[in-house]
Each structure stands twice: as structure tokens, then as C-alpha cells.
Structure 1
Amino acid sequence: MQQEEQTETGLRRDLSSRQVGMIAIGGAIGTGLFLGSGLAISIAGPAVILAYVIAAFAALALAYALAEMIVVHPEASGFGAIAHRYLGGLAGFVQRWIYWAAQVVNIGSEVVAAGLYVRFWYPDLPLWVPVVAFSVIMLAVNAAAVRYFGEFEYWFAMIKVVTIVVFILLGLTYIVVGLPGQQATGVDALTDHGGFLPNGLGAVWLALTVVTFSYLGTEAVSVTASESRDPGRDVPRAARGMVLRLALFYILGMLVIVSILPWTQVSTGGGVTQSPFVRLFAIAGIPAAAGVMNFVVLTAALSAMNTNLYVTARMTYSLARDGYAPRWLTGLSRSGTPRRALVLSAAGLALAAVVSVLAPESAFPLLLGMALFGALLTWLIIFISQLAFRRQRSAQGLPPSPVRLPGAPVTTVLAMLFVAGVLVTTPFTEQFDTAWKAGVPFLVLLVIVYFLVRHRAVHRS
């Protein structure tokens, strides 16, 4: 396809295969692996490895389910448009808006995190200065032609991938043969401090709420379909490859951490100097390990923020095209970028960032809870959409999709039960007990707004 080819929506197919693949990775790997992994370890101990394996299967099922549908329908907003097509307007409206809200909250948290990372070098710098600066830069990147966004994200995500690979290789070397001046650790730490399951199987299930949060972002790759040069090839390949890489990174990364450091000593704090990655790089003799990792987590935050801005703008654009957001938001720039839709996401970014700074102890946990609720609900609707997609194509005598989820519909139902179980478990975890408190009222509000919007549209026609 030609680089300047436009889709039926007006968006341009300017994203290459390598950019689509790296955008997928960039959206899924934020600061959670580098700094937040200690939280899951503190809940489950060394058995956190099992939690990452279990969640990987659910994420892989989601990737295949998405690829199966996106190959047939490479539309703007990906899974949101598909839910609208197969489950009706209410499902499409709720899924896209609740996912938009979830991502906007994530964007706000990432830009504030990025500002905090800058203060590692400049502790006296007011937080609002880097927050505003990074917001402007990321908005400018997203407002440019999509191929420039894709190239920017490719290299930002590459920094994260290289760091994780180096960490895993160093860690495995340290475990098996040792490092200069350091003897091999072996794997005794997996069982030395209370056993492999120090807190029991129940703790592994509780840890799944945190672990599943690490895989959220898998679904974002489908949004690139309408701007990929070859969505039938690129999106399924990127979706499958992303989940397999994530699983490899997370599982091997956790294995390295709990084998080298006693799980009781793995920090759950947010400081860069407390990251397990910093500890290992310092042991390996890497100069200024804390400063190196601070740069890495900074790029991780900016990369995730960049991708999520892209996703929210396309979600808004798709809603406007379907009549569930102001028509003005369908406007495109000369380069085919939905800049007006990006403006709305920028407003949400500003709100989330202000709340995270002014009320981090009260309001922001509610926003994060709503984000988790919205993301898990999005996964559920994707699986339901896939069941409806298969059923309708079979009823109409249409050929199956070139890409298929193995074992479906059984695997689809099992994955749905898993996601539903994690969602039900969130009120019982201290970190995400706000999910239902914030998510359910927001869901009810969206349903009410949908019927008001539809009623108004009916009367206008």
C-alpha cells in the first residue's frame, strides 16, 4: 500500500509493521514492571511467577480474540467499533467512553510520574514545570503526522525493551555463574523465606489483580488497525508477539528478582532507588545505576503516555463518527490526524494531572480504581464481542476469520471467567479496593448518558 493511502474514515495508513509492534509494547509496559513489581511480590512471594503465567494466558487469549476480529474489521478505535457493530450502540458507547476515561487517568498518572522522575535530578524543581512541559511535548508528537508519532514511539519503547533484556541476561548470569566479584546466587531464595508459597494460594489469586494490571494495554494494538499499512498482517502479528514478549519479560523478570533478592526485602515503595532493577545494576557494577534506571523509567512513563494519548484520540474520533460525541471532533488535520479529538483527551489529561497533584490521598485513588474497573470491563466486552462475531458469521454463512483463537469458544469463556473473577476480587485488595466504588457509579452514568443521547438523536431525526 502507498504510504499516503487513506482509510474510509479519513485516517492515513502510515504506520509500518515495526512501528505497530513497538506501539503495542510501548502501551503495555509502563513503570509497573520497573517500580511496581514489588507490590505483587509482597502479596504472593516467589509464587508471583505463577500469577504472571496465569495472567499471560488470559492476555494471549485476548490478543488472539482481537486479531480474529480486527483482520476482518480494521476500523478506527478497533474493539470499540466492533462492539458497536456486534453488540449494539450501548455496548459500543460504554466500552469506548469507559476505556477513554481509564486511559486518560493513566495518562495523568504517567505524566505526574515523569515529573517526579525529573525531580530525581532536580529536587527543587516545582512539579508542575516538568508536568506541563511533558504534556506539551507529547501532545505535539501526537498532533504530528501519524508516521512521526510511530517513529517517536518506536525508539522510546525500544529503550524499555533493551533495558529489560539486559536486566534478564544479567540476572540469569548472576544466578547461574555469578558476576565479577559476586558468586552465583542459585535459586535458593525461591524457597528459603517461608517456601515458594509463603502466603498460600489465596495470595496468588489476590496478586492477580496487580499482575493483570501489568498486562492491561494489550488491547491498544487494535486501535492502530485503521492507520496500519497492512492491518491484516501487522495487527495480528503485533498482538501475538506483544503478549509473548510481555509474558517472557514479566515471567523471567520476576524469576530473576525473587531468585536474587529475598522476596521479603523487595521494596514496594515508589522510589527509583528502591527498584529491583537498580539493585541488580548496582551489583553488576554499572556506573550511576540509580540515575540510569531513573532515565529508563522516565522514558517508560513518557512512552506509555504517548501511546495512550494516541489511543484516546482515536476512541474519541470513533465515538464522534458514530454520533456519540460532538461531530466537531471528527475534524482531521492535513496530515490526517484527529487533532480535535486530541484536544478533548488533553483536557482529561490536565484534569487527571491536577487531581493527582492536589489530592493524591483521596481523589486520585478513586480515579485509578475507575481506570482498573474500566480496563477490565473493556476486556470482558471484547470477549463477548468475539463470541457474537463468531456466531453472526456462522449464521450468515460467512467464512471464518483468517486468524482464530485456538479452542474458542471454550477458551473465550474461560478467559471471560478469569477476568470477571479478577474484577470481583478487586474490592478485597488494598491497592484497588476503589475499583467498584468509582467504576460502578461511572458505568451507571454512562448508561444514562447513552439513552439521553440516543433519545435526543431520535427526536432530531
Structure 2
Amino acid sequence: MPAPLTTAPEPRATPVPTATPAPPPTETPAPGAQPAGSLRPRHLTMLALGGVIGAGLFVGSGTGLRVAGPAIILSYALAAALALLVMRMLGEMAAAMPAGGSFSVHADRALGRWAGFTSGWLYWAVTAIAIAIELIAAATILHQWMPGVPRWLIALVALAVFTQSNMFSVSSFGEAEFWFAGIKVAAIIAFLALGVAAFCGAVPGVDSPGMANLTGRGGFLPQGWNSVVAGLLTVVFAFGGMEVITMAAAESRDPARSVTKAVSSAIWRISLFYLGSIAVIITLLPWDSATPGRSPYVAVLDGLGIPGAGRLIEVVVLIALLSAMNANLYGASRMAHSLAARGDAPRALARTSRRGAPRAAVAASAAFAFVSIGLDHRWPDQILPFLAKAMGGSMLYMWLTVAAAHLVLRRRLEREAPHLLVVRMRGFPYLSWLAAGGIVGVLLLMARDPGTRGQLGWSSLLVLVLLAAAGVRAVGDRRGGGR
């Protein structure tokens, strides 16, 4: 049964508590300790951008271009529209009820403990895998620059540094992510400026292609409308990671105002950076020259005669990987902490340091990445790609949870606590239903496509396992008199 609406950060799900639950254990604060709300609006804004602008854009966009040709921009537009609807729903709920567990807490409130348990652990498991994959990918790039240093050692040092940074304080994470995201944003702005200049014929020695790459070589839709759907399945996963902003909002000084400003700012900037840079690519680069696995950004810069374009984008991709790893470690640790505070994970993970950092949860979230270093060294390029298959549909299942929770909580808030609705998503409930329908549609397309069917299968299996675990927990609670 859903919990009554309250602004408490991590709710219990009982409708009428019979006893006040004990607070999660914390270390004794020291004099002069930093307040919990030490993330600033600038941190949240750049975190929203950094969480979405990753290696999937800089490298993965080449695969989409090859699949759909210039029409890949339509695929990106559809994926962006879906992602931004989800971000709007997340922003509204986070502003009304800020919580470190974000959509997991909202699902707990709206749908019941089973939904909060399942979505929370799903996010944690997938994010832990993502940390490992990003770590190994970053170590591979660094190993190419320093071939004399073993890849496993580079990965170990990098992970140790980021783990320590997340354990130190919330503000240290915020500053690191601010500068990482800032570099990625600066790179895209420079790329957009060069692209527009090249299109206008303002780059010395480079002739403007005009509309030739859009109308020639088979036209705007060289592979037909079906390619737009295929492209959507290729690019939609590049928009994952935005949910971390609503977790971080709970640790800001003014959660409602901070998340409102960050979400509004991120929506138009993500649209500009994603769609703008893709527009530059399809205008300047012949679609049939794109090579899957090779960044189209490098190809465009090479065509413009920019020296060292490959190494320049390689640096940006490395920063994107480290940024994503840092954000995912933060998100996974906050989700583990939230689950522990709600009694859905070991209580030890609810402990926080005197600076407000959940050190045990950070260590637990980084543990799999440490293990992955050994696995990758023993079976290089075999273990992690296998685990990555479980990530494909998991993001969509989490987005579907967001839509379901929003449809329930928005009505409850309007009825029981309208004063908490400081941000209102326009077009409710139609846009919420549209988002839910869009997510289900993408899942069905994955089931039909042989290339993504396996990913959906592994993701669905993971969801079923977690649902079974939630059922076992519910039975245990009934027998023990818990919630």
C-alpha cells in the first residue's frame, strides 16, 4: 500500500507507521563538518549535461549514421523527445519530494515496496556494470598512450582515485564532474562553431558541401523509413544517465529550486548539443563513409584539415568515459544508501561520513569494478561485453517505472499536497502516457529486432530475478511483521 506523501527524504511504505523507525547509522559529525547540501546549482546543471553527453555520442553516432544515413537526425530527435519527457517527470517528482534514491523512492511511494526494491536494485546492478565497462574502456585508451604500463594497473589506479574522491565529500564529486562536463561541453561548442563555419564556406581551404550530403547519395532517406526505427534502437541508449541529477538534487542546499533550474537548463542544452552536432555531421560527412566504431567527429575534423583530430577526440572520449564513471559511481552509491535506509539493503550501507559521503555504499558500488579488473586481465574482451548485454533494455524498464510512478504521484500530490508541486509538467497526463507508450514501443521494437533481442532478453531476465527477490522479501516481511 503506498505511503502518505511527505517531504522526508527516504520514506517507509507503511500507510500509518506504528513506530518511528530508527534513523540510519551515521558516523559522529565532527565540529565544522560540511553540510549535507553541498552541491550547487552549477554542479547540478553540468551534471545533467555530463551524465548524458558521453562516449555514446562521440563514438556511437557513427553506427547510427551508417544505419539510417542523414535521417539519423530524426532518430535522435525521437530519442531526445522521449528522454526529455522522462527528465521532466523526474524533475517534477524530485522537486516535490527530493530523495537520494530518486525514481526508486518515488516508485516505492506510488506503486509499493516491490517497485522501489526492483527499480533500485536494477539501477544499482546496471550502473555497477557500467562503471566496470567505462573503467576498462578508459584504461584501454590510456594504455595506448602508455604501452609500457599494464592496462590492469592503469585501471586500478584510476578506480582508486575516483573511489577516494567520492568517499571524501559530496562537493569533491561535484567539482570533478563540473570540470569534466565543462570540457565535453566546450568540445561540442567548438565543433558546432567549426561546422557552421565550414557550411558557410568560412574555413580556409575547405569548400562548403552545401546540401549535397543531404540530397545526394540516395537522398535524406537512403535506407527508407525503416532505417529511422533501426537508428532509434541504436541511439536511444546514448541518453541514459540523466537520472543522476535528481539524486544529486537531494544533496543540494535548495533541492526544489536547484533541480528545477538544472532540468530546465539541461533540456534545451542537450537538445542543442545533440541535435546540433548531429546536424553538422550529416551535413559535412557523406553518410556512406561513416565507419561503425570510429567517431564521425574525427572524420569531420579530418575533412576540415584540423591537425591531430583523432587524438583530440580521443582525449574528449577519455574524459567522457571518466566523467560517466564518476557520475555512475555517485549514482550507484546513492541508490545503495537509499535502499539501505529503506531496509532493502544491508544497514551498513546507510552509514555516512562526517562530510556526508556514504563511504560503505561507495565501496560496495566500486567493488564490482575492482573485480572486473581481474576478470578483464584473465579473459580480455570477453566478460564485460557479456555483462553489457544486460544493460540494453534495463534503462527502458527504469524509464517505464518513472512514467508509472509519475502518473500515480502527480494525482496524489494534486489531491493531498498541491503545495509540493513547485514544478508542474505541462500536458499531464497526456504526455506522461505518451512517454510510457513510447518506452513500451521501443521495447517491442527491441523484441522484433534480431540485433537487440538478446539484450532485451538478458535485461528482462535481470528484472524477473529482482522481482522474485522482492517477492521473497515481501513474504519475509509478512512473517516477521515488517512493512
TM range (shorter): over 0.9
The structure-2 alpha-carbon separation of the partners of 1:65 and 1:193, relative to structure 1 and needing over 3 Å to count, comes to same
Question: Is 1:222 the counterpart of 2:246 in the alignment?
Answer: yes
Task: Report the equivalent of 2:183.
Answer: 159
Question: Is 1:367 the counterpart of 2:387 in the alignment?
Answer: yes
The structure-2 alpha-carbon separation of the partners of 1:306 and 1:325, relative to structure 1 and needing over 3 Å to count, comes to same
- Paired residues of 2:446 and 2:452 also in contact (CA < 8 A): yes
Structure 2-normalised TM-score?
0.89
In 2: Cα distance, 1:297 partner to 1:45 partner: 23
Task: Report the equivalent of 2:196.
Answer: 172
Match of 1:294 among 304, 314, 319: 314
What is the letter of the counterpart of residue 437 of structure 1? Answer: G
1:161-205 alpha-carbon deviations (Å, 9 max, x no partner): 000110111011111224111111212101211111111111111
In 2: Cα distance, 1:44 partner to 1:358 partner: 38
- Paired residues of 2:376 and 2:382 also in contact (CA < 8 A): no
Task: Report the equivalent of 2:399.
Answer: 379
What is the letter of the counterpart of residue 86 of structure 1? Answer: A
Question: Is 1:340 the counterpart of 2:364 in the alignment?
Answer: no
Deviates more, 1:87-96 or 1:282-291: 282-291
Structure 1-normalised TM-score?
0.93
In 2: Cα distance, 1:360 partner to 1:377 partner: 30
Match of 1:101 among 112, 125, 146: 125
Task: Report the equivalent of 1:145.
Answer: 169
1:274-314 alpha-carbon deviations (Å, 9 max, x no partner): 32222333344443222222211111100010001000000
CA offset at residue 244 of structure 1?
2.0
1:345-424 to structure 2, matched below 5 A, reads 345-355=365-375, 363-396=383-416, 398-399=418-419, 401-424=421-444
Match of 1:72 among 96, 100, 109: 96
Deviates more, 1:61-70 or 1:324-333: 61-70
The structure-2 alpha-carbon separation of the partners of 1:45 and 1:284, relative to structure 1 and needing over 3 Å to count, comes to closer
Task: Report the equivalent of 2:13.
Answer: none
In 2: Cα distance, 1:410 partner to 1:163 partner: 37
CA offset at residue 220 of structure 1?
1.8
Question: Is 1:259 the counterpart of 2:283 in the alignment?
Answer: yes
Match of 1:441 among 428, 446, 461: 461
What is the letter of the counterpart of residue 94 of structure 1? Answer: T
The structure-2 alpha-carbon separation of the partners of 1:333 and 1:400, relative to structure 1 and needing over 3 Å to count, comes to closer
What is the letter of the counterpart of residue 238 of structure 1? Answer: A
Task: Report the equivalent of 2:230.
Answer: 206
CA offset at residue 411 of structure 1?
0.7
1:27-46 alpha-carbon deviations (Å, 9 max, x no partner): 21221111111111111111
Task: Report the equivalent of 2:296.
Answer: 276
Match of 1:322 among 342, 365, 368: 342
Task: Report the equivalent of 2:471.
Answer: 451
Task: Report the equivalent of 2:21.
Answer: none
Cα RMSD of the aligned pairs, angstroms, is 2.1
Secondary structure of 1:119's counterpart equals helix
In 2: Cα distance, 1:75 partner to 1:140 partner: 24
- Paired residues of 2:394 and 2:460 also in contact (CA < 8 A): no
In 2: Cα distance, 1:237 partner to 1:384 partner: 24
State, as a whole percentage, how many aligned pairs show the same letter. Answer: 35
What is the letter of the counterpart of residue 392 of structure 2? Answer: L
The structure-2 alpha-carbon separation of the partners of 1:28 and 1:355, relative to structure 1 and needing over 3 Å to count, comes to farther
In 1: Cα distance, 2:421 partner to 2:373 partner: 41
Question: Is 1:331 the counterpart of 2:351 in the alignment?
Answer: yes
What is the letter of the counterpart of residue 161 of structure 2? Answer: I
What is the letter of the counterpart of residue 189 of structure 2? Answer: V
Question: Is 1:44 the counterpart of 2:68 in the alignment?
Answer: yes
In 2: Cα distance, 1:355 partner to 1:438 partner: 20
1:295-339 alpha-carbon deviations (Å, 9 max, x no partner): 111111000100010000000000001111001111111111001
The structure-2 alpha-carbon separation of the partners of 1:29 and 1:353, relative to structure 1 and needing over 3 Å to count, comes to farther
In 1: Cα distance, 2:397 partner to 2:105 partner: 16
In 2: Cα distance, 1:316 partner to 1:409 partner: 31
In 2: Cα distance, 1:246 partner to 1:260 partner: 21
In 1: Cα distance, 2:99 partner to 2:138 partner: 32
What is the letter of the counterpart of residue 351 of structure 2? Answer: G
1:228-249 alpha-carbon deviations (Å, 9 max, x no partner): 1111111122123223222211
Deviates more, 1:397-406 or 1:72-81: 397-406
| Structure 1 residue ranges without an equivalent (≥5) | 1-5
In 2: Cα distance, 1:101 partner to 1:312 partner: 8
- Paired residues of 1:41 and 1:266 also in contact (CA < 8 A): yes
What is the letter of the counterpart of residue 233 of structure 2? Answer: T
Task: Report the equivalent of 1:13.
Answer: 37
The structure-2 alpha-carbon separation of the partners of 1:432 and 1:123, relative to structure 1 and needing over 3 Å to count, comes to farther
Secondary structure of 1:303's counterpart equals helix
In 2: Cα distance, 1:430 partner to 1:178 partner: 45
- Paired residues of 1:175 and 1:260 also in contact (CA < 8 A): yes
Deviates more, 1:76-85 or 1:391-400: 391-400
1:95-134 to structure 2, matched below 5 A, reads 95-134=119-158
- Paired residues of 1:102 and 1:372 also in contact (CA < 8 A): no
Paired positions, count: 452
Task: Report the equivalent of 2:5.
Answer: none
CA offset at residue 357 of structure 1?
5.8
The structure-2 alpha-carbon separation of the partners of 1:204 and 1:355, relative to structure 1 and needing over 3 Å to count, comes to farther
| Structure 2 residue ranges without an equivalent (≥5) | 1-7, 11-23, 27-34
What is the letter of the counterpart of residue 104 of structure 1? Answer: A
Task: Report the equivalent of 2:84.
Answer: 60
CA offset at residue 261 of structure 1?
1.2
1:424-460 alpha-carbon deviations (Å, 9 max, x no partner): 2224446533222211221111111112223334434
1:221-260 to structure 2, matched below 5 A, reads 221-260=245-284
- Paired residues of 2:128 and 2:368 also in contact (CA < 8 A): yes
Task: Report the equivalent of 1:3.
Answer: none
CA offset at residue 210 of structure 1?
1.9
What is the letter of the counterpart of residue 355 of structure 2? Answer: S
1:202-230 alpha-carbon deviations (Å, 9 max, x no partner): 11112112221111112221111210111
In 2: Cα distance, 1:137 partner to 1:95 partner: 29
1:76-124 alpha-carbon deviations (Å, 9 max, x no partner): 1111111111111011011111111111121111111101111231235
- Paired residues of 1:59 and 1:243 also in contact (CA < 8 A): no
Secondary structure of 1:120's counterpart equals helix
